[in-house]
A = this chain, B = another copy of it.
Amino acid sequence: MTNFPVLLAGQWREADAAGSFQAMDPSTGEPIEGDYPVSSRADLEAAVEAAAGAADALLDFEAGARAAFLDAYADRIDANADEIAGMASRETGLPLSPRLRDVELPRTTGQLRQAAAAAREGTWMEATIDTETDIRSRLGPLGGAVAIFGPNNFPLAFNGISGGDFAAAIAAGNPVIAKAHSSHPGTSRLLAEQAHAALGDAGLPPATVQMLYRLSHEDGELLVSHPAIGATGYTGARSSGLTLKAAADKAGKPIYLELSSINPIFILPRAIESRGEELVGEYVTSVLMGAGQFCTNPGITVVVASESSRQFISGATAGFEETEPGCLLGERVVSGLGESVDALVACGAELLTGGAPVDGAGFRFQNTLLKVSGESFLRQPEALQREAFGNAGLIVEAADEAELIEISKVFEGNLTGSIYSCAEGGDDALYASIARNLRSRVGRLLNDKMPTGVAVSSAMNHGGPFPATGHPGFTAVGIPGSIRRFAALECYDNVRADRLPVELGDRNPGAGLYRLIDGRWSGEDVS
């Protein structure tokens, strides 16, 4: 058995392996050739030590060098797009085109290039100058590596070795230790090869980017709490995320989590009455997109019972039945979805369609739609907010508008909340109540729009209150916000001018840098 090497301490080297694993082809359920190592603690310690050296060495590089690396890496991914997207499709069962090759891969390189531009410009640092006291501050690197755990569902755009957390951590000046997701090790390997080469292109310390394929749970906890680690980014399942959070919290290490979310949708009565049929299409598309394996998948939709809502539900049921179920990412996604559907039914939800795995090769589950009364939902709000990760949706049917409002008060923290209302104003009073209740429970509030699109926008919040994430003030997507997570506030008090970081000198170094000078944002020199 020969394992693929790991990217450790600046080179591809044989892992100190405690075991090995293979990727699976979800479309067949068969393993894909090639063995990947489960790294031992020795690999972990070597990675952390090398990262500490890289964190120090990076202090000698200007932001432009990090930007050059991010740009070079993006170019290299583009140049190898077919191979990378092909491998990702094979390992995840997600469609090669348009999903991976034409949407997720360009999004990934776009994020890297946006992070490069932000690193070059520097406005993300929130450089702040108080001329009266001669105190100056900015956000700077953490002084230790960022550990990044990517999820299974976006093998490129959220991969620990290429995704938004990666781009943000590098832009802020930190080295990265990526923990690839075990469901797509080959994709991660191809990406890491390009990252390693791009470090060479840009002349950055080679240990700036490291990657291990898999660790034991204990070693994962050790990594996020290691004294030499700066912070962690984690996207994935709630249970593993909370275990890592406990370890990181105890060590006083920041950890940014992006966990499960059921993303409530409220369709107000006059919206469903006036354009219910159109909404059926939007809803079915959004729930089943990527076989429902989106962080922002609309898990719960709340309507007021009426003739229109009954038509909406029967239309959605038909839509679910008419659509070919997508391939799920792994065997455990299939079994987990089945368990969640069963649990919802046990809480009183009625199965409208689906509910069982699809027979035959590969990992598939019937498109599944459930319905529950608002009364039942209010009786067991926690149990009925159980995430059913995959191609399933739950519709909550409120008896009346008052019950709809009560339902909007019981949601736990979510990434998103959407409200559909009619254009003519008839839903406005109800909208105001629902929006007020959702506002503190969701990171992103949408109008008349499904939440599944997550634009890489400066104003995006791909975050939200616990337990959707670990902190309500940060976003995992969108620059400059995502970069600021992986930074420490550096203050300089009475520090001599020639010892200040270039962004804090009297002269604005240019390239579009904005600074908060005496309380006003400015692109100018200190006057």
Contact = CB atoms under 8 A, between A and B. Distances in A.
Interface string A204-246: 0000000000000000000000000000000000000000011
A441 B252 contact: no
Contacts of A499: 431, 435, 447
A159 B485 CA distance: 29
A493 B446 contact: yes
A455 B494 contact: no
A12 interface: no
Q: Which of A139, A140, A455, A490 has the most chain B CB within a 10 Å cutoff? A: A490
Interface stretch (A95-103, A392-400, A457-465): A457-465
Interface stretch (A190-198, A312-320, A512-520): A512-520
Given A457-B130, A499-B431, A254 B471 contact: yes
A431 B142 CA distance: 20
A460 B142 contact: no
Interface string A478-503: 00010011011111111110010000
A163 interface: no
A416 B55 CA distance: 21
Contacts of A13: none
A132 B132 CA distance: 39
Contacts of A471: 254
A341 to B, nearest CB: 27
Contact of A461 (B141, B443, B490, B523): B490
Contact of A459 (B123, B137, B142, B251): B137
Nearest to A418: B493
Contacts of A132: 457
Nearest to A495: B447
13 contacts: A128-B459, A130-B460, A137-B460, A245-B249, A251-B466, A253-B466, A445-B490, A446-B493, A459-B491, A461-B489, A473-B488, A512-B520, A521-B522
